[in-house]
Amino acid sequence: MQYNPTILEHFKNPKNQGEISNPDGVGKAGNPVCGDVMQVFIKVKDGRIEDIKFQTLGCGVAIAASSVLTEIVKGKTVDEAAKITKADIIEELGGQKKVPPEKIHCSLLAEDALKKAIEEYRQKH
């Protein structure tokens, strides 16, 4: 399987990979069929996502989707971040035609993990 340059770049050099100590929200998503598991950590200050990190165990597209998600979300308000969709992530990965169809579900995990992290943040605040 050949990935486009954007996916390869984010897979080889993922942005914001790691964990945040004392996060304001943590979201975890997984797909039992493919085995991908993703965790997203957010830190919020004055209603904006000041920091976001991820840990992903999965394929190249899952890691790339996590990396791209963090770049899209960082600096946005919590409400803006909550509106991020799978389509937004796929677009940042090069678009529908550039992401292998059998890997589209990986971007859904990134969206799910983010939504769960935001949900946890909102429950705390």
Catalytically active residues, by annotation: 34, 106
Q: Which of 64, 25, 58 is nearest to 41 (CA)?
A: 25
Distance CA(16)–CA(37), nearest Å, equals 16
Q: Are 66 and 110 in contact (CB under 8 A)?
A: yes
Assign residue 34 a region: left if phi > 0, alpha if psi is -120 to 50, beta otherwise?
alpha
CA distance 110 to 106: 7
